[in-house]
């Protein structure tokens, strides 16, 4: 059975970084798992166009974009980025930004969509860091606002690392509500304030995590009713993640996803997914967590088919 929403994907999302801790091959493996397990059909996937420079410049400074495209980043800027610079890197990030724009558009038309990539929430207007060259979700939100497709958006970020770029980009902007639930004693330092930051203790397990997520997300929706929700769905709160220190199980992470999707559906808020970080010791675990996010979204739709987003 085809999925009731579209998935955005391009083979060039995989940067072929080899033994790097950032497993960019996971995007290809997620797509393959969805196909191999007959959870999605080839027709469910859409190919993105690279984001236009005009759209990238809605978020990032002209000087930064010029240096990135011309290969003029300094050695310190590349060190801060933590992935090797290449033309393929630039191509991949422009595609990821285009992918999140497309996912946002499809979410608005279909109720839900997913970018099998993106979620690069550590990018700032004038620099990249933490594996993030461009902030694809911010670019998508700004493009959709410029088109008049949305006025307001909410970013719900469940990556183990706080969305510092998201908080910095949208700080003081009343049209975008930022929510981040993350491990307190982990990168980044400092953590610019989101509208709601849920700072978690080391090792927190499923039940406590889910209770805190639900209570704070309810509070977010009490304060803000967005036209679109962007869900930054990190796989790295997993207890076997190399860059995380929380205690969630694979099952607990899928319950997390269902909680987010069900809350959005109850409020008739369309949701666009970006699959963010994930660095499990076994890449198969990261892939399974991301596949489960797609399945949780599918189930949220199938279990409430009459409720339109």
pLDDT score, position 307:
46
Q: Taking a C-beta distance cutoff of 8 angstroms, is the pair 119, 80 a contact?
A: no
The 3 state secondary structure assigned to the chain is: CCCCCEEECCHHHCCCCCCCCCCCCHHHHHHHHHHHCCCCCHHHEECCCCCCHHHHCCCCCHHHHHHHHHCCCCHHHHHHHCCCCCHHHHHHHHHHHHHHHHHHHHHHHHCEEEECCCCCCCCECCECECCECCCHHHHHHHHHHHHCCCCCEEEEECCCCCCHHHHHHHCCCCCEEEEEEEECCCCCCCCCCCCEEEEECCCCCHHHHHHHHHHHHHHHHHHCCCCEEEEEECCCCECCECCCCCCECHHHHHHHHHHHHHHHHHCCCCEEEEECCCCECCHHHHHHHHHHHHHHHHHHHHCCCCCCC
pLDDT score, position 106:
98
**Displacement of CA 67 from its chain's centroid (Å):** 25
Q: Taking a C-beta distance cutoff of 8 angstroms, is the pair 305, 265 a contact?
A: no
Location of structure tokens 């949220």: 300
pLDDT of residue 18 exceeding 90: no
216-236: average pLDDT: 97
pLDDT score, position 128:
98
Edge-to-edge strands, sheet with 6-8: 45-46, 6-8, 112-115, 271-275, 228-233, 153-157, 176-183, 196-200
Q: What is the overall mean pLDDT for the chain?
A: 96
CA distances from 131 to 17, 122, 295 (A): 12, 8, 26
- Taking the CB of residue 114, how many other CB atoms lie within 10 A of it? 31
pLDDT score, position 308:
44
189-203: average pLDDT: 98
pLDDT score, position 187:
97
Structure tokens at 168: 């910095």
pLDDT score, position 221:
97
Strands 228-233 and 271-275 turn out to be parallel
Location of structure tokens 């639900």: 214
pLDDT tens for each residue of 123-164:
999 999 999 999 999 999 999 999 999 999 999 999 999 999
Domains of the chain (ranges; CATH) run: 6-302 (3.40.800.20)
pLDDT tens for each residue of 234-255:
999 999 999 999 999 999 999 9
pLDDT tens for each residue of 27-64:
999 999 999 999 999 999 999 999 999 999 999 999 99
């Amino acid at each position: 059975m085809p999925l009731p929403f579209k998935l955005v994907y391009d083979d060039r999302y995989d940067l072929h970084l080899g033994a790097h801790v950032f497993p960019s091959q996971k995007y290809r493996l997620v797509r393959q798992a969805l196909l191999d397990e007959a959870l999605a059909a080839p027709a469910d996937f859409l190919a993105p166009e690279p984001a236009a420079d005009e759209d990238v410049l809605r978020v990032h400074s002209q000087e930064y974009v010029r240096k990135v495209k011309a290969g003029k980043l300094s050695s310190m800027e590349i060190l801060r980025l933590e992935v090797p610079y290449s033309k393929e890197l630039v191509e991949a990030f422009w595609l990821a930004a285009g992918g999140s724009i497309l996912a946002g558009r499809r979410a608005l038309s279909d109720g839900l969509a997913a970018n099998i990539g993106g979620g690069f929430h550590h990018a700032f207007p004038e620099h990249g860091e933490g594996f993030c060259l461009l902030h694809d979700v911010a670019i998508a939100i700004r493009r959709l606002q410029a088109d008049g497709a949305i006025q307001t958006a909410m970013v719900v970020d469940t990556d183990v690392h706080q969305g510092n770029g998201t908080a910095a980009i949208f700080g003081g902007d009343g049209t975008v509500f930022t929510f981040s639930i993350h491990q307190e004693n982990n990168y980044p330092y400092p953590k610019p304030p989101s509208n709601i930051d849920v700072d978690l203790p080391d090792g927190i397990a499923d039940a406590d995590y889910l209770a805190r997520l639900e209570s704070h997300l309810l509070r977010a929706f009490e304060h803000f009713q967005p036209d679109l929700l962007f869900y930054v769905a990190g796989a790295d709160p997993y207890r076997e993640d190399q860059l995380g220190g929380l205690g969630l199980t694979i099952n607990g992470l899928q319950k997390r996803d269902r909680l987010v999707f069900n809350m959005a559906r109850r409020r008739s808020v369309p949701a666009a997914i970006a699959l963010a970080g994930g660095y499990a010791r076994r890449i198969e675990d990261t892939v399974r967590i991301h596949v489960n996010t797609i399945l949780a979204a599918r189930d949220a739709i199938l279990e409430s088919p009459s409720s339109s987003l």
